[in-house]
Structure 1
Amino acid sequence: MANHGKYDDDTSQFVTVPTYDVHIQLRTNFIMKINSHALSHSISEKLKVLLFITPLLIPLLTFWIVPFGWSIYISFTDWDYISPKYSYVGLENYQYMFEDSYFMDALNNTFVFALGVVIPTIMLGLVFALLLHKNFRGSQLYRAVIFSPWITPTVAVSIVWSWVFETKSGLANLLLGKLGFEPIPWLESGDTAMIVVIIVTVWQAVGWTMLFFISALNKIPESLYEASLIDGCSPWTRFIKITLPLISPTTFFLIIVNMITAIQAFDQFQILTQGGPSGSTRTLLYLFYQQAFEQYDMGPAAATSLIILLITGVLTLVNTEMGKRWIYY
């Protein structure tokens, strides 16, 4: 084994070092240089990525994260929206909400409205999709007519329907009068006001739901239906065994989206009923609006908004877990 010499500064002597030690040292230095270069390159790449996403993070931070954190903080105070002074009250706002009859009624109205919207919207959307997913003469026109309410602003839709259900001269009561029935106070009665809002919301959402179902139906291979015909399956069996399972991912998506949309509904309530009569159409979101912008009671309003977020998240998670049992991917 060859030796290699080097000068030792500590002993002021020339010592010999085995050649393989020199090779190991050189190799170690080379590897350290490579690692240092790789580390600097990695940091440089991360800085470039951060530079590109910073313009996107600024609006997210400004308009979502900061307001969300502020809402959480305000929910633990008694801020009245006007006075710069407020006190920390802990969980008092949340306790007040769950003891308040208005909140419990609004919670019940929210669930009733959500169920009343989601189920008919999914069913009617699927029915229209089954009728119109094949291309035939006039099919595009029918699809456009059914879809058009979705692209119409909810405020405009609600104004038109308020005329339809007007008690004295509305179209609905005029038709009932022709049939010999007494006029119904559609929007002035607690028994019918929620039904009217549900009808308006379903009418607007069906077309959008239909288009998603049409897309899902057109992706089902025709060979599956041909094989079922050879096996002698009835139309109902084909629908249950082939169609429903293969469109289940789309159905799940539409259930979640329509549920969230129903919980967040506001415009139609504001135009048609203003939460009345006697709170029969006051949902959680409308209660939040009244607390924040009519009563200027920002503490309970912030608590209500966070409860709405929590309910939406829990329902989404529950639907996701339940969906694992019937969704076919």
Structure 2
Amino acid sequence: MSAIGTQLAPVVAPVVGAPTRRSRPRGMRVVAMGGRMDGTAGSLFGGGKKKADGANLPPSGYRSRTDIPKMLNNTPHPREVRKWFYDDCRESVVAAVTGANPKTRVKAFIEFPELNVNGDVYRIGTLLELVREVAMALAADGKRVRVCVQGSMGQGVFQGLPLSLSGVARILDMMDWGDADEFIARGSIGGDVPRPDDAYFILISPQNIVGYSVLPYLQEMEKAAGDRPIIMINPKLGDIQSAGNVMSIRGRGERREYVEKTWEEVYHFRLLYKKPFFFPIYGALRYGTGGMWELYKKFGKMEQEEWKLLRTYDDGEPGAAEITKRILAKD
């Protein structure tokens, strides 16, 4: 494949009888960049060379994170690579819930190869190490932190638990919390979990499963916690279609509003690929508390890799079409 910034090779073999790139027919299917699909996408088949525009260029003096680790497709990641992500996420989350105007319902999304549940190198230990970093930082001043992971949902033989959370509760019981051990407790997700002396709650990847929604448990826990901060790390709260009228079209708007409006995203990092592949990495999208959404592009290969901040957005996460346009631009 050619280097970034020059002509891009096709990422999928053309279907026999399908229109070629040169023909540029109407209705050509487009490919979105990144890990979250929002129903829109940018075309990989632009017309002639377009003049670059200056919209959303980084402000003068803007402090970017061009020190993003290199060679992220090499797994398992070295300790210093994991630490970079732990520190970046922890600083943003802690600032959000302990600042001058502390937020009480926040979520963080972080996805690099070892935290991509759709990849074959997903490592639950990496997620738990991140949780430990956040929990120990919050407990540093003596406040009590409850780390929670959802239990099985359903009844009898129909009980179920997301595969990515299988065994997590047992691992939490065996984890070493260092000097903060006496200030950290474990729990599940539900209205009976919060205790009067709990100051913070960290929820590990709450998610729906086929036939059951975790949202009622979250709402009960919210009510019991009151104005105490609850932090969700890597939640997956989209509807999963199933029988029994669970997570059906009815009520979908209210569920989406609850997830998007009640819970404020205070940290976001994900790598950008051409779907459905996870190689090569083309760029990254990042957001931290108090900053702007940042779109980075990766240049070079192997040890010569470098990250460049292309655009910043102060009005929310850019859509897939905008991301694709910027990442695949040849300027």
TM-score (norm 2): 0.25
* Higher percent of residues as helix: 1
* Higher percent of residues as strand: 2
TM-score (norm 1): 0.25
Structure with the greater alpha carbon radius of gyration:
1
